[in-house]
Amino acid sequence: MGKRRVVITGMGLMSPVGNNVQETWQALLNGKNGAAPITLFDTSDYETKFACEVKNYNPLDYFDRKELRRLDRFSQFAILAAEEALKDSGLELDKEDRDRIGVIVGSGIGGMLSFEDEHTKLVTRGPKRVSPFFIPLMIIDIAAGHISIKHNLKGPNFATVSACATAGHSIGAAMRAIQYGDADIMVCGGTEAAIVPSGIAGFNAMKAISTRNDEPEKASRPFDAKRDGFVMGEGGGIVILEELEHAKARGVKIYAELAGMGFTADAFHITQPAPGGEGAIRAMKAALKDAGLQPTDVQYINAHGTSTYFNDKNETEAIKEVFGDYAYELVISSTKSMTGHLLGASGALELIVSALTINHGKVHPTVNYEFPDPACDLNYVPNKAIEKEVNAALSNSFGFGGHNVTLCVKKYVE
């Protein structure tokens, strides 16, 4: 028996440019940038004073005060994105076997805000003032736990943690769970809310994030010669993956087929990518092989595209190594040019974008591309969206620690 085919039937987003999928997609096509001065805390003493926050978000519009005592911001984003994705999928959960529906939702950092708040209480007021909810507020697996509990989903349930590759690993692992018959439906993705004092201070200390405080909206500029670091983002992205025959029996919309994945390690450095994108090369090749595709079957790559010097250069080199001369016929764009870097949630946002690109035949731009870098000489769809038929796409995610994921989506055909 061949591999069970896996399709995407639902999607949900909380992002810096939109609080649902449709808002986010339209903002990306329009080149809308989500960077602005940080409002979540006082940045007077910080090198970087801006980020890509989720806008127009009041938790009390969605959760009551009692619930919020148990929910860090990263869990809130995951729960809301999952709600949208489940609704979008048209699943009637009461008619489904909930033992066959699982949840894999990861985060790169988890409940960082709760950790800060409770540690401050510990230091200033003593151990008895620490909240009894401290640990379940903070731990990374709790977002998946909340979604499972809320919807009574009893299949495979866990979290992945691989820095910026987290959501890619979550979605890939969920695909395998369906292919191997452990589940028929998976709720999967990533979530992050690390725009907190220690998050900004930590990334500033390692010189990873942009300090372009005078022009925040121009700070994220992937593949541009004047890039100076990534921009912190936050949010959550969830996809509903479903075994093909199960989806067809329900007669629901299929956005795309999730056809392949590649997982590799650089085994090189704690933060820098391997020279020449060696680990990324193997991840893309593995995803193509898993999907049964040739390089020339792909039209679009949603790049990791962080706006850091080494990542953008090495990812470009990796694409040229995998695709050869055909690399110059590909269209490539970086969602992070507008949303900033959602860390552990970025791979879910970008897979959703890849599926929408296939659906709509439109490719969003890489904004702020003004000064060409000779080391980055491919077609990054500079500054303006284009129309293009896309039958297959790759979505790249690479994380600190040398973790690489490439997911391959293609147009669904019988």
> Hey, what are 297's tokens?
């079957």
Query: Which residue in the list 52, 164, 376, 408 is annotated as catalytic?
Result: 164
Q: Which residues contact 401 (CB under 8 A, 6 or more apart)?
A: 162, 163, 270
Q: Which of 227, 102, 86 has its CA nearest to residue 154?
A: 102
Q: What is the DSSP letter of 233?
A: B
Question: Rounded CA gap, 331 and 327, in Å?
Answer: 8
Helix intervals (H) in 166-308? 166-179, 197-205, 244-250, 278-291
Question: Rounded CA gap, 144 and 129, in Å?
Answer: 27
Check if 164 is active-site: yes
345 within 8 A of 77, measured Cβ to Cβ: yes
Q: Which of 95, 295, 344, 290 has its CA nearest to residue 179?
A: 290
28 strand-pairing partners: none
| Residue in this structure with the two tokens 């452990």, named with its chain if needed | 182
- DSSP three-state, residue 190: strand
Please work out, in degrees rounded to the nearest 5, the angle formed at the alpha carbon of residue 298 by the alpha carbons of 352 and 366.
Answer: 55
Catalytic (active-site) positions = 164
